[in-house]
């Protein structure tokens, strides 16, 4: 059971929806296995790694546990993508860079030497830096082949598409105006119009045709 540790699903939020370009495994076991194989792995103590992306369950943000009852709900799959990033704060980098330059006699280093100093400082400081943590909620309706991602930044979209493909071998197609239009199985003649569609000019005084003087005239 979830024994009260599970955050309730949000009531507010921003989302992007995707179409699944393929079918998810029918068995819950295979879903859980896929999530576990591409689970989040901590970079808290890592010296070099600056980003880690992986799946976590709604009740365990560490990525260690994937409980069926939290993830495989009767109508949806619910899980999260965790993105941790480690970066030496710029002020710290500047302080250490200046100290290093001073220790080397005060001569301004060239670009290559500067890169080497930067790498040394990162190696020294990154294990002491805590990563920033980002959790993006995901809901999947398997029967409709639709995924909702609760995060709209470009980086979250890109990470989600890449990780989902790596995990399940399925591409996600973002449901923008074109994709949606093409998903509706519209009649062939309408789809032909869609293929060559250009924006319509709403302001008639720019379109070359005289504007109607009233809604009645427009109806006529």
Partner 1 sequence: MSPPSPETDPRAFLGEEFLTWLWWRSETGEAEYELPGGIRVGVTLDDYLSLGGSAEETDQTLRRGLPSRSVEATAALCTGKRPTRARLILATPEGEWNFTLDGSRMDFLSVKLPEDEEDLDPQALNEWRMAGFDRLVELVDGIYRIFLEDRLSPSFRDRTLPRMRAWLQARRRALA
Binding site for partner 1 (CB under 8 A): 2, 4, 6, 8-17, 69, 73-76, 78, 139, 141, 146, 148, 152, 154, 157-158, 161, 165, 171-172, 174-181, 184, 186, 190-191, 193-194, 197, 199-204, 206, 211-215, 217-219
Residue 175 region, left (φ>0) first, then alpha (ψ -120 to 50), else beta?
beta
Residue number with CB closer to partner 1 (88 or 161):
161
Which pair of tokens denotes residue 146? Answer: 């639709």
Residue 114 is encoded by which pair of tokens? 């500067």
Q: Assign 39 to helix, strand or coil.
A: strand
For partner 1, the closer CB: 13 or 89: 13
3-class SS at 51?
A: strand
Q: Give least dist CB 19 to partner 1, A.
A: 11
| Closest CB 213 distance from partner 1, rounded Å | 7
Contact 42, 62 (CB under 8 A): yes
Comparison of 40 and 164: residue with beta carbon closer to partner 1: 164
Q: How far is the CB of 173 from partner 1 (least distance, A)?
A: 8
Min separation Cβ 92 and partner 1, Å: 33
Q: How far is Cα 68 from Cα 142, in angstroms, rounded to an integer?
A: 15
Q: Is 36 exposed, middle or buried (0-12, 13-18, 19+ CB in 10 A)?
A: middle
Which residues are CB-contacts of 30 (< 8 A; sequence separation ≥ 6)? none
Nearer to partner 1, 68 or 104 (CB): 68
Q: Tell me whether residue 6 or residue 46 sits nearer to partner 1 (CB atom).
A: 6
């Amino acid at each position: 059971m979830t024994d009260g540790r599970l955050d309730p699903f949000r009531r507010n939020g921003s989302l992007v929806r995707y179409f699944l370009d393929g079918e998810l495994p029918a068995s819950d076991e295979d879903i859980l296995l896929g999530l576990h194989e591409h689970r989040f792995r901590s970079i808290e103590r890592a010296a070099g790694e600056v980003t880690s992306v992986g799946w976590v369950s709604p009740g365990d943000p560490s990525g260690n546990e994937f409980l069926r009852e939290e993830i495989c709900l009767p109508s949806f799959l619910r899980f999260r993508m965790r993105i941790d990033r480690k970066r030496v704060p710029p002020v710290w980098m500047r302080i250490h860079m200046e100290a290093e330059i001073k220790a080397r006699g005060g001569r301004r280093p060239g670009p290559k030497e500067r890169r080497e100093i930067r790498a040394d400082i990162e190696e020294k400081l990154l294990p002491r830096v805590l990563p920033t943590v980002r959790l993006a909620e995901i809901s999947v309706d398997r029967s409709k082949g639709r995924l909702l991602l609760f995060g709209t930044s470009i980086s979250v979209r890109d990470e989600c598409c890449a990780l989902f493909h790596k995990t399940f071998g399925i591409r996600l197609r973002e449901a923008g105006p074109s994709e949606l239009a093409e998903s509706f199985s519209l009649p062939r003649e309408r789809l032909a119009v869609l293929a060559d569609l250009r924006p319509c000019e709403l302001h008639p005084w720019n379109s070359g045709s005289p504007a109607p003087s009233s809604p009645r005239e427009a109806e006529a």
